[in-house]
C-alpha cells in the first residue's frame, strides 16, 4: 500500500467537493482519474500529495512512499541549465559527479582518494548515473526540447517549455508514485506518444488526470471517476468504462425507484390500518420502515455540453488560399507555404513543437505579419479564432456578459439559453472567469466563438483543459460543421475522426497530405488501433432525388435546431419573469421604489419579447414539421 484515503470530505465555500471518498493505491498500480471539469480531480491529487488536509476522514501514507509530479515552480535557480535542472530528478547525482571530477582532476589529494572514488562510482551505479545524461537528453528531445536548448537557463524558457522540462524530470525520477495532472496539454503528437509509452512501461505506480482517451487506453490500468463528490472504480479500457458506467447509473436509478415504490406502498398500508383492526401489522411495518437503510437518490447527470452551430452565412467554395507564404518573426520558420482550403474541408496542421503551427495560425488571422507570399480569404468568409491564450484566461467578463458583448442583437434570455448549452446555467453564467476552472474557461471561450456564427474555424489546441465528454461533444460538432476548419491539436483521436486532410510542418516546409494518417506516419508516430471515423463519402455524382433528400435532411435539422433554441429561450425568459414576480412581492423590493420600478420595466419588456419569441417558436415548429413531412413523403415515394 502506497497511500490510503478513508472516507475523506473536502469543502470549499460551502460546496462539498469530495463526499466520503475512499481510495487505496498499491505499489506499481496505474490509475487514470476522470471526471467533469470542477468535479474535484485536482483536489484529490492535492490530498494524495499532502498539499491539502481533509475536513474529515483519514489520509495514510506509507513510510516508503516517494512522490514525483510536474512542479509549477522549479526548486533550482532560474540560471541553471535545462539539462542540469532535469538531472535533479536523480537525487545527489550532480554532487557525486562534481566530487568525482574534482578527485580525478587531482585538485583534491590524500591517501583515501582511491577508496573515495570507488565509493562514489558505486553510488553513481546505484543511481543509474552512467545512463542518466543520455536518458535525460532523450526524454527532453521526445518532449520537444532539442539539444540546442540543453544549456539554456530555465528562466529564459516559455511557460510551455518549462512545463515540458518539468514533465521530463518527473518521468525520470525513480519515485514509487508519479502523479500527473493533464500532462498532455503542452505536448505535440510525438510528445504524447512518448508519454503514453513511458507511463505504460513504468515500473512504479501512476495516478494521472487526463482528457486524452488514447492515454487512458494505453496506460492499461483501472479507471477512477469522480462524480457528484464520490469516487467509483472501473476496469481498464475507456469504452468498457463508458458501458459499465451507464449500466451502473441505470441500476442505481432502478434500485432507488423500486425502494421508493415499496416505501410508498408500506406508508399507504400504515395510513389505512394504523387505527383499524390491523393496527399491530401497521405498527410493525412502521418499525421496519424506520430501520430500513434508505438508498440515496441518484445524483442527476451533469447535462452534456451541446455544441450547436448557429445559422451562418454561406461562404464561397474556396474559403482560404495561401500562396508561397513565409511565416516567422525576424527569420522565417516556414517558407513557401501553399494550400487551398475549401468549404466543408477540415485541415489538421501537424508538426513538432517549434515547427511553426501556432505562428502559422496567427499569421493567417493577421496577428503576426507574413514575411512573404499572399493570403486570400474567399467571398463571404467570416473567420472565428480559438487560441490558447484566450481559452486559458476565459476573457475578462462572465459568460453572459461576453455573449451579450459579441451578440448585441441577442436579448439576455437568448444569451442565457446559449450559455446553458455549454454547461453555464443560472448563476454559473454570471460567474467571473477568475472563479472558473481551466476547463470552464475553455468552454466559455468556445461559447463566445460559436455564438458569432463563423463559417471558417481556426482552432489552436481546442481540447486543452476540456473534460472528455466535452472533447467528444466537440468532435461530433466539428463533424457536422458546414464550414471549413483549420485545427492544431495534440489529441490524436480527435484529429483521426475529424480531419479530412493534413498540412505537415517539417524542416521549415509545409507538406500537404491526403489524410491525417499519412501525416502521422511521416511524422514518425507509432501505429494506433483503427479509430471509428465518420467521413463524408467520396465526391460522386448524386441523382436529383438524392440531392433533394440531402437538402431536405439538412434543412430539417437546421429548422429543428432553431425550434429547440427558441424553446430554450422562451423557457429562460419565463424563468426570469417568475423570478421578477417573486422579487416584486418581497418587502425588500416593494419598499425600494426605484428598484421596483426597474424590475417592473424589465418584466414588461420581457413579456413583449416573450410574445415575439413564442410567435417565432410556433413558426419554427411548423417549419420543422413541414420539412420532416416532406422528407418522409420523399423517402416513401423512393421506396
Element (H, E) at 112: none
In Å, how far are 321, 338, 505, 600 from 373, measured between CA atoms?
A: 11, 9, 17, 59
Question: What CATH number does the domain located at 318-523 have?
Answer: 3.40.50.300
| Residues 337 and 324 sit within 8 Å (Cβ to Cβ) | yes
CA distance 143 to 188: 8
CA distance 28 to 349: 37
Mean residue pLDDT of the chain comes to: 83
DSSP string, 313-345: ----SEEEEEEEEEEESSSEEEEEEEEEEETT-
Assigned C-alpha cell, 274: 394504523
Opening angle at CA 150, ends 145 and 154, nearest 5:
90
Nearest-CA neighbor of 388 among 460, 448, 446, 466?
Answer: 460
CA distance 488 to 263: 55
Nearest-CA neighbor of 310 among 436, 409, 427?
Answer: 409
Assigned C-alpha cell, 218: 494505453
Which stretches of the chain score pLDDT less than 70? 71-77, 106-111, 277, 300-306, 390-395, 526-549, 551, 590, 617, 629, 631, 633-639
CA distance 301 to 289: 29
124-150 per-residue burial string, b: 16 or more CB within 10 A, e: under 16:
beebebeebbebbbebbbbbbbeeebb
In Å, how far are 331, 584, 586 from 596, measured between CA atoms?
A: 63, 6, 10
Please give the DSSP secondary-structure letter assigned to residue 53: -
Side by side, the strands of the sheet bearing 222-227 are 67-69, 177-181, 205-209, 30-35, 222-227, 230-234
Side by side, the strands of the sheet bearing 383-386 are 383-386, 456-460, 484-488, 346-351, 501-506, 509-513
Q: What is the largest CA-CA distance in the chain?
A: 106
| Residues 458 and 488 sit within 8 Å (Cβ to Cβ) | no
| Residues 194 and 200 sit within 8 Å (Cβ to Cβ) | no
pLDDT tens readout for residues 64-79: 999 999 865 555 667 8
To the nearest 10°, the Cα dihedral for 248, 249, 254, 255? 60
Q: Is the pTM of this model over 0.95?
A: no
pLDDT tens readout for residues 88-116: 888 788 788 787 877 777 655 566 778 88
DSSP E strands in 403-539: the ranges are 456-460, 484-488, 501-506, 509-513
CA distance 203 to 423: 39
**Residues near 503 by Cβ (< 8 Å), separated by ≥ 6?**
339, 347, 348, 349, 350, 510, 511, 512, 513, 519
Pairing assessment for the beta strands 383-386 and 230-234 based on DSSP bridges: unpaired
Please give the DSSP secondary-structure letter assigned to residue 61: E
Give domain limits for the chain: 318-523, 544-638
Q: What pLDDT is recorded for position 530?
A: 40
Assigned C-alpha cell, 605: 419588456
In Å, how far are 269, 315, 359, 404, 621 from 384, measured between CA atoms?
A: 63, 13, 17, 17, 30
| Residues 212 and 185 sit within 8 Å (Cβ to Cβ) | no
Q: What pLDDT is recorded for position 207?
A: 96
Amino acid at each position: 500500500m502506497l497511500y490510503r484515503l478513508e472516507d475523506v470530505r473536502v469543502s470549499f465555500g460551502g460546496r462539498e467537493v469530495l463526499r466520503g471518498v475512499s481510495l487505496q493505491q498499491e505499489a506499481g498500480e496505474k490509475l487514470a482519474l476522470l471526471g467533469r471539469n470542477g468535479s474535484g480531480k485536482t483536489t484529490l491529487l492535492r490530498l494524495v500529495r499532502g498539499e491539502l488536509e481533509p475536513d474529515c476522514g483519514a489520509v495514510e501514507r506509507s513510510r516508503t512512499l516517494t512522490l514525483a509530479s510536474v512542479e509549477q515552480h522549479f526548486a533550482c535557480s532560474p540560471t541553471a541549465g535545462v539539462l542540469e535542472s532535469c538531472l535533479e530528478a536523480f537525487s545527489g547525482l550532480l554532487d557525486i559527479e562534481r566530487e568525482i571530477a574534482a578527485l580525478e582532476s587531482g585538485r583534491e589529494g590524500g591517501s583515501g582518494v582511491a577508496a573515495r572514488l570507488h565509493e562514489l562510482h558505486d553510488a553513481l551505479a546505484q543511481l543509474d548515473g552512467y545512463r542518466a545524461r543520455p536518458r535525460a537528453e532523450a526524454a527532453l528531445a521526445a518532449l520537444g526540447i532539442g539539444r540546442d536548448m540543453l544549456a539554456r537557463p530555465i528562466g529564459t524558457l516559455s511557460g510551455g517549455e518549462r512545463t515540458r522540462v518539468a514533465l521530463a524530470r518527473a518521468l525520470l525520477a525513480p519515485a514509487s508514485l508519479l502523479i500527473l495532472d493533464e500532462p498532455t496539454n503542452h505536448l505535440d503528437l510525438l510528445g504524447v506518444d512518448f508519454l503514453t509509452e513511458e507511463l505504460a512501461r513504468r515500473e512504479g505506480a501512476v495516478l494521472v488526470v487526463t482528457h486524452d482517451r488514447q492515454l487512458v487506453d494505453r496506460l492499461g490500468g483501472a479507471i477512477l471517476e469522480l462524480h457528484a463528490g464520490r469516487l467509483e472504480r472501473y476496469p481498464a479500457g475507456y469504452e468498457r468504462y463508458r458501458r459499465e458506467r451507464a449500466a451502473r447509473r441505470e441500476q442505481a436509478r432502478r434500485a432507488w425507484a423500486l425502494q421508493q415504490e415499496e416505501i410508498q406502498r408500506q406508508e399507504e398500508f400504515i395510513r389505512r390500518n394504523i387505527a383499524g383492526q390491523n393496527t399491530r401489522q401497521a405498527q410493525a411495518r412502521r418499525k421496519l420502515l424506520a430501520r430500513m437503510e434508505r438508498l440515496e437518490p441518484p445524483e442527476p447527470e451533469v447535462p452534456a455540453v451541446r455544441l450547436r452551430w448557429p445559422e451562418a452565412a454561406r461562404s464561397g467554395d474556396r474559403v482560404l488560399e495561401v500562396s508561397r507564404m513565409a511565416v516567422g518573426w525576424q527569420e522565417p520558420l516556414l517558407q513557401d507555404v501553399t494550400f487551398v482550403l475549401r468549404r466543408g474541408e477540415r485541415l489538421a496542421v501537424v508538426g513538432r513543437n517549434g515547427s511553426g503551427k501556432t505562428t502559422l495560425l496567427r499569421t493567417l488571422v493577421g496577428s503576426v505579419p507574413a514575411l512573404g507570399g499572399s493570403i486570400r480569404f474567399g467571398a463571404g468568409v467570416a473567420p472565428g479564432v480559438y487560441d490558447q491564450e484566450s481559452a486559458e484566461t476565459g476573457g475578462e467578463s462572465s459568460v453572459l456578459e461576453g455573449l451579450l458583448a459579441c451578440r448585441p442583437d441577442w436579448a439576455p434570455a437568448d444569451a442565457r439559453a446559449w450559455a446553458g448549452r455549454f454547461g453555464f446555467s443560472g448563476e454559473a453564467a454570471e460567474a467571473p472567469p477568475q472563479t472558473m476552472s481551466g476547463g470552464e474557461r475553455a468552454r466559455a471561450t468556445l461559447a463566445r466563438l460559436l455564438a458569432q456564427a463563423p463559417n471558417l474555424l481556426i482552432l489552436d489546441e481546442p481540447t486543452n483543459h476540456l473534460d472528455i465528454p466535452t472533447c467528444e461533444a466537440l468532435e461530433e460538432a466539428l463533424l457536422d460543421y458546414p464550414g471549413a476548419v483549420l485545427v492544431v491539436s495534440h489529441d490524436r483521436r480527435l484529429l483521426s475522426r475529424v480531419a479530412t486532410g493534413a498540412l505537415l510542418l517539417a524542416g521549415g516546409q509545409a507538406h500537404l497530405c491526403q489524410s491525417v494518417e499519412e501525416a502521422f506516419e511521416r511524422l514518425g508516430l507509432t501505429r494506433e488501433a483503427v479509430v471509428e471515423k465518420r467521413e463524408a463519402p467520396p465526391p460522386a455524382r448524386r441523382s436529383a432525388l438524392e440531392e433533394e433528400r440531402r437538402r431536405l435532411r439538412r434543412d430539417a435539422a437546421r429548422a429543428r435546431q432553431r425550434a429547440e433554441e427558441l424553446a430554450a429561450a422562451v423557457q429562460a425568459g419565463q424563468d426570469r419573469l417568475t423570478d421578477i414576480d417573486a422579487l416584486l412581492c418581497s418587502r425588500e423590493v416593494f419598499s425600494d421604489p426605484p428598484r421596483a420600478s426597474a424590475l417592473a420595466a424589465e418584466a414588461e419588456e420581457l413579456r413583449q419579447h416573450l410574445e415575439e419569441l413564442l410567435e417565432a417558436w410556433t413558426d419554427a415548429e411548423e417549419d420543422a414539421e413541414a420539412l420532416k413531412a416532406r422528407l418522409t413523403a420523399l423517402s416513401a415515394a423512393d421506396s
